[in-house]
Structure 1
Amino acid sequence: MDSTSPEPSLYTVKAVFILDNDGNRLLSKYYDPELYPSMKEQKTFEKNVFNKTHKADNEIAFLEGMTIVYKSSIDLFFYVVGSAQENELMLMSVLNCLFDSLSHILRVILESDPQQVLQKVNYRADENPLTEQSVAQVLQSAKEQIKWSILK
């Protein structure tokens, strides 16, 4: 094997994070424990990524030896990080899945008509009449239905 080839790794996606319009962390998950082991290092990296990408119209960036694909929506920035050798299309498919899944979930949450919410989460009123359930049971059932509809 060539000494310049990268070491094989199971960490295709090194990190996923969502930042607000000011570059503050809303959500992050680092899958490679060696990438940025401390919270301070992670936040510094995220700030550097945000500063490089928040005004750009591109979908890909290279920073600190990492391939970063990103997408913005109104005031949120979604990022998926991989190694420099990682296939950008693979990273972009992860980003699109994350972005589309959250968009679908938030559309259900923003619905104001309860019948529409029940319909969107495939609630079966004939199996469990609403009058015989507590609010907590209805919410738990709706949550489970949303989870299953996402996994389909």
Structure 2
Amino acid sequence: MEPAGPSVPEPSLYTVKALFILDSDGQRLLAKYYDGTFPSPREQAAFERKVFSKTRGVGGDVACLQGLTVVRASSADLLFYVVGSCQENELLLAAVLGCLVEALGRVLRKEVEKRWLLENMDGAFLVVDEIVDRGVILESDPQQVVQRLSLRAAPEPAAYGFVLLDYLAGSSAPREAAGAAGCRE
């Protein structure tokens, strides 16, 4: 009979426990929690404050906190976090984080900042939903995320936002134009 060693948890597709974006003051701008680790909004906010205080000014981009692996990135006045279990691969979590930051940057076509995020929260949530669904990583290639959303830059350079064509509104303009052209014949 073999001695019982430490049990290794079974691999799971449910890799991401949480994903959130905080401003430079530690205030939540966007958050998605995918399991019951932090069931109440109060517990989530307390965890976010703790993560912010522990990672602010720290040189590394990976931290272990409360038995969880937390990866972090920053862009202008925002801090991006992806949280997984303690046995989760940091590189996998970092790939999700990198995809999030880069996909949002590609949508904007410049560095992501708080003002833009607040003005385009619906688009930001769509980007998050294309990357992670219920804790399962769907995509880690930012180009694929942007392509799936069919995002196109707004025509006026002064606008911070973007237009979600063919995704939110179904964009009937091209079909109407094609129909009108067909009626002329």
TM-score, structure 1 length as denominator?
0.69
TM-superposed CA distance for 1:26, in Å, is 0.2
Aligned residue for 1:102, secondary structure, equals: helix
Describe the shift of the 1:4–1:50 C-alpha distance in structure 2 as closer, same or farther (beyond 3 A): same
**Contact 1:121 / 1:145 at 8 angstroms: preserved in 2?**
no
Q: Distance in 1 between matches of 2:75 and 2:26?
A: 13
- Verify: 1:144 aligned to 2:162, yes or no: no
1:87 aligned to 81, 86, 89, which one?
89
Q: Distance in 2 between matches of 1:122 and 1:19?
A: 25
**Contact 2:19 / 2:33 at 8 angstroms: preserved in 1?**
yes
Q: Distance in 1 between matches of 2:167 and 2:105?
A: 13
| Corresponding position of 1:106 | 108
2:14 aligned to 8, 11, 14, which one?
11
TM-superposed CA distance for 1:2, in Å, is 5.8
TM-superposed CA distance for 1:122, in Å, is 8.2
Structure 1 segment 1-152 matched on structure 2, within 5 A: 4-32=7-35, 34-107=36-109, 121=152, 142-144=163-165
Describe the shift of the 1:122–1:36 C-alpha distance in structure 2 as closer, same or farther (beyond 3 A): closer
| Corresponding position of 2:132 | none
TM-superposed CA distance for 1:104, in Å, is 1.2
| Unaligned segments of structure 2, at least 5 residues | 117-150, 155-161, 169-185
**Contact 1:19 / 1:25 at 8 angstroms: preserved in 2?**
yes
TM-superposed CA distance for 1:86, in Å, is 0.2
**Equivalent position amino acid for 1:68 in 2:** V
The CA RMSD measured in Å over matched residues stands at 3.0
**Contact 2:108 / 2:153 at 8 angstroms: preserved in 1?**
no
Q: Distance in 1 between matches of 2:80 and 2:105?
A: 12
| Unaligned segments of structure 1, at least 5 residues | 111-119, 124-139, 148-152
Work out the percentage of aligned pairs sharing the same amino acid.
Answer: 51
Aligned residue for 2:109, secondary structure, equals: helix
Q: Distance in 2 between matches of 1:122 and 1:30?
A: 29
TM-superposed CA distance for 1:15, in Å, is 0.5
Q: Distance in 1 between matches of 2:103 and 2:71?
A: 17
TM-score, structure 2 length as denominator?
0.58
Q: Deviations over 1:88-123 (max 9, x none)?
A: 11000000000001111122798xxxxxxxxx8289
Describe the shift of the 1:54–1:146 C-alpha distance in structure 2 as closer, same or farther (beyond 3 A): farther
Q: Distance in 2 between matches of 1:87 and 1:28?
A: 21
Q: Distance in 1 between matches of 2:102 and 2:7?
A: 37
The runs of at least 4 aligned residues of structure 1 exceeding 4 Å deviation read none
Describe the shift of the 1:56–1:121 C-alpha distance in structure 2 as closer, same or farther (beyond 3 A): same
Aligned residue for 1:6, secondary structure, equals: coil
